[in-house]
């Protein structure tokens, strides 16, 4: 992804994994909407219900990022929220261009202050389009890239960052969120 020079907005998708994913996403959304700099940038994305189920299923938190420091606020908020989780909570952050990274609560919880600041800065830089994730590959930061390994081979389960984004509906739907004072 390149930094947007047109002042445009980019949607970032936050996904959780597992049977409690919807509850985790609601919790994350509530946590992030308390940050005044993210006010009006948050939305919840739903998908149609599974066969035999009633009502839509919460699928993701979507954040509309534009100029003005919201990337740092989002990075700080996601890392802080993860530090408060117990167990193996996994969050996936997906950019519009298809690049993604995965964060886990267990690994974030074990970081010292210096590593925590570095991880937050690395995530903010990625969200700002200022860097890739190759330098951040599991170097003790709790940040994992999806894509190619250091030899250029596609990682198992990884997404080729040079491939076209998934046309199956990634992003979209970032409606206004309700934010209270931070």
Structure confidence at residue 71 (pLDDT):
92
> Which DSSP state fits 145?
E
In angstroms, the CA 179 to CA 182 distance is 8
Q: Are 137 and 158 in contact (CB under 8 A)?
A: no
Question: The dihedral of CA 175, 176, 180, 181: what is its sign?
Answer: positive
CA proximity to 58, closest of 73, 69, 71, 44? 44
Structure confidence at residue 159 (pLDDT):
37
Tokens, residue 4: 């947007």
Structure confidence at residue 162 (pLDDT):
34
pLDDT category at 173 given cuts 50, 70, 90 is very low
Segment 73-90, tens digit of pLDDT: 999 999 999 999 988 899
Lowest mean pLDDT among 24-38, 110-124, 152-166: 152-166
Q: What are the structural domain ranges in the chain?
A: 10-145
Write the DSSP string, 58-113.
EEEEEEEE-SSSHHHHHHHHHHHHHHT--S--EEEEE-TTS-EEEEEHHHHHT--H
Greater pLDDT, 27 or 166:
27
pLDDT at 7 over 80: no
Structure confidence at residue 56 (pLDDT):
86
In angstroms, the CA 182 to CA 177 distance is 14
Q: In the predicted model, what is the mean pLDDT of residues 84-108?
A: 89
């Amino acid at each position: 992804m390149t930094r947007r020079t047109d002042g445009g907005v980019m949607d970032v998708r936050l996904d959780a994994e597992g049977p409690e994913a919807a509850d985790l996403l609601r919790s994350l959304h509530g946590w992030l909407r308390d940050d005044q700099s993210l006010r009006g940038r948050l939305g919840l994305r739903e998908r149609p219900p599974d066969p035999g189920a009633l009502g839509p299923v919460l699928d993701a938190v979507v954040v509309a990022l534009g100029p003005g420091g919201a990337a740092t606020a989002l990075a700080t908020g996601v890392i802080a929220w993860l530090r408060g989780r117990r167990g193996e909570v996994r969050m996936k952050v997906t950019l519009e261009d298809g690049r993604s990274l995965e964060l886990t609560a267990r690994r974030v919880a074990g970081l010292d202050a210096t590593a925590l600041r570095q991880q937050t800065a690395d995530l903010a830089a990625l969200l700002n389009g200022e860097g890739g994730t190759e330098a951040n590959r599991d170097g003790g930061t709790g940040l994992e890239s999806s894509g190619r390994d250091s030899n250029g081979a596609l990682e198992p389960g990884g997404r080729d960052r040079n491939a076209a984004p998934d046309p199956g509906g990634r992003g979209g739907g970032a409606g206004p969120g309700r934010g209270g004072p931070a």
